[in-house]
Structure formats: C-alpha cells, structure tokens
Amino acid sequence: MFVSTGRLRGSARHYNMVMNDNPPIQTIPRIVFVCVENSCRSQIAEAYARILGGGNVDVYSAGSKPSGQVNPKAILAMKELGYDLATHASKGLDELPNVEFDAVILMGCGDMCPFVRGKYHADWGIPDPKHMPPEEFRQVRDRIGEKVRDLLSRQLAAISFQPE
C-alpha cells in the first residue's frame, strides 16, 4: 500500500518500482524457421533452437510447399548429435499460429517464401543440402547450428525481457 507523505522522494524510477512491485515479465521469444519443403534446413534449425534454447524459446518451422516428410539425411545428421528429428513432421505455413513472431528466419528459399509476420526478419541464404553427400550435409547442419546459436545469444537477448 502506498501512503502519501505530501512530498516526492527519490527518482521516478524508484516511484515506479514502489508503486509496481512486479518485476518485468520475461517473455519467451517465439521463432519460426521457414524454407520450401520443411524437410531439411528449417527442421534442423528448429532442432538446434530446441537444443540450445531449452524451454526458453517457443520455436516452429514450416515450409511454403511442405514435402510431407522430414528428409532421412536430416534425421541421420541430427541423430549424430543426439537429437531425434524423426519425431518432427513436415508442416506448411498454414499450420503456424496466427501471431507475430519475434524472429522469422528464412533459410534461403528466395521468392518461394511468403511474408510471415515478425518483429525481426532475416534470410540466411543456406543452400538446400538434400542432394549433398554426407560430409557436405554435415557442414550445412553445423553452419545452421552456428547461426541458431548466434540468433539465440545476440539477437533475441534484446527482446526476451519486455515491460508489462
């Protein structure tokens, strides 16, 4: 309860802290990774975001023309890292929640990726690895992992705490 003494004490910030003893709400950043088929790149990015973000990120992936299955090479590549990508399904953009995402990451699908509402947009321009030999596929997988790590550590730090 606030009792007025007839004079102001401290700064406006102190006054707000006294009047509103609730700390700022930590929101969980909502990210979506988009590619054409939602079978390789965006699935791998979603997996990395789940691995690296733990329960601190709400992550989705989708494709503009989903293939209907996750690429077996992607499943194998992520299994090497201890992640079971076989539990994922190839999804279309129409299956995403109707929200504004904190980050919309295009994996390199160019004109095939329609607009998705988001506060931050980036096109990572990652080549589709589906026809690459295993070693090149792993290099793409690892590049995606580095980019997801950077996204989570740098770019989303600014949006993870928002005032009530």
Alpha carbons 118 and 58: distance in angstroms, whole number: 14
Alpha carbons 59 and 78: distance in angstroms, whole number: 17
The active-site residue out of 109, 116, 140, 156 is: 109
The active-site residue out of 62, 113, 140, 148 is: 113
Residues 6+ apart with CB under 8 A from 25: 162, 163, 164
Looking at residue 128, what DSSP letter applies? P
Q: How many CB atoms lie within 10 A of CB 101?
A: 22
Please give the C-alpha separations between residue 6 and each of 18, 159, 160, in angstroms, as whole numbers.
16, 38, 38
| Cα–Cα nearest to 61, from 28, 29, 101, 34 | 34
Provide φ and ψ at 24, rounded to 5°: -55, 140
The active-site residue out of 31, 35, 47, 49 is: 35
User: Does 40 qualify as catalytic in the annotation?
Assistant: no
- Active-site residues, by number, are 35, 109, 113
